């Protein structure tokens, strides 16, 4: 299967500049495909300013464009396009930023982008998504951590991979918090989605998918959840191709 993906848990580690830790990985990934121009999907970024959602998209584009320019890429945002589907069809590479996954999925569905992006990526163009952008690469958005600030028509997403990602995966709750742990929430999901596999992707980590090969990049292991089985940990350089072979 043709697919070239960089699925990133988080954009920024604590105390670092925006997109500092994955910058080299993004640059090497896109450069490896000879990419010059990047189409950015900003629809998850709804809270960069209180004035309007559109203004937030403008600010989001400016923020990401500066960093991508430093890496040697020209980036423009799809929200400025009169025909978003045509923009996708003409794209050299697609990048989806983080933020609120519900709003991202709603906008992508309203503009007809789920199927357009899916077709384009399965023809081989590189795709990069962080946080919410990694969520929508999954079959559904059901393992997002985000608040449902709006209601998309469907939770179905791009299905570039056959398993779910839980970005920003945490092992424990903050001290004094009596709510569920992240693991408890994932196990709750698996109780009613028993055939689904969930990957807890810790911060500072990403999944690189080239065709039917997948590698974890990062110093922290991923945590693999399947119904009725003990959770497993996989470190960098361990074989993860079996996750792509699932139906």
Q: Which tokens is 136 given?
A: 């929508």
Q: How many whole angstroms separate alpha carbon 123 and alpha carbon 1?
A: 9
Is 58 part of the annotated catalytic residue set? no
User: Closest Cα to residue 114, out of 94, 92, 142?
Assistant: 94
Kindly name the residue from 168, 171, 177, 219 that is annotated as catalytic.
168
Residues 6+ apart with CB under 8 A from 241: 212, 213, 214
Is 168 part of the annotated catalytic residue set? yes
Kindly name the residue from 28, 146, 219, 241 that is annotated as catalytic.
146
Q: How many whole angstroms separate alpha carbon 128 and alpha carbon 161?
A: 13
SS3 199: strand
Kindly name the residue from 11, 131, 154, 219 that is annotated as catalytic.
131
Please spell the DSSP secondary structure of 92-139, one letter per residue: S-EEE--S-HHHHHHHHHHTTHHHHHHHHHTTT--EEEETHHHHTTSS
Contact 77, 55 (CB under 8 A): no
Is 146 part of the annotated catalytic residue set? yes
Residues 6+ apart with CB under 8 A from 225: 183, 186, 187, 190, 197, 198, 199, 200, 231
Q: Which residues are catalytic?
A: 131, 146, 168
């Amino acid at each position: 299967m043709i697919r070239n993906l960089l699925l990133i848990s988080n954009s920024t580690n604590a105390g670092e500049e925006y997109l500092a830790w994955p910058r080299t990985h993004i640059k090497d990934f896109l450069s490896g495909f000879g990419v010059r121009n990047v189409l950015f999907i900003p629809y998850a970024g709804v809270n960069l300013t209180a004035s309007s959602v559109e203004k937030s998209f403008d600010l989001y584009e400016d923020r990401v464009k500066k960093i991508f320019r430093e890496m040697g890429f020209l980036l423009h945002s799809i929200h400025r396009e009169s025909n978003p589907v045509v923009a996708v069809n003409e794209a050299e590479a697609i990048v989806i930023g983080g933020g609120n996954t519900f709003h991202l999925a709603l906008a992508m569905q309203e503009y007809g982008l789920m199927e357009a992006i899916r077709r384009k990526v399965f023809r081989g163009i590189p795709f990069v998504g962080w946080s919410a952008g990694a969520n929508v690469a999954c079959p559904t958005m059901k393992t997002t951590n985000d608040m449902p600030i709006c209601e998309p028509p469907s939770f179905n997403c791009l299905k570039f991979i056959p398993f779910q990602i839980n970005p920003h995966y945490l092992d424990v709750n903050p001290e004094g918090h009596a709510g569920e742990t992240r693991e408890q929430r994932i196990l709750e999901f698996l109780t009613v989605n028993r055939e689904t596999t969930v990957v807890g992707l810790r911060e500072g980590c990403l999944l690189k998918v080239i065709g039917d090969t997948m590698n974890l990049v990062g110093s922290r292991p991923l945590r693999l959840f399947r119904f009725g089985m003990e959770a497993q940990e996989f470190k960098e350089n361990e074989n993860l191709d079996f996750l792509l072979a699932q139906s």
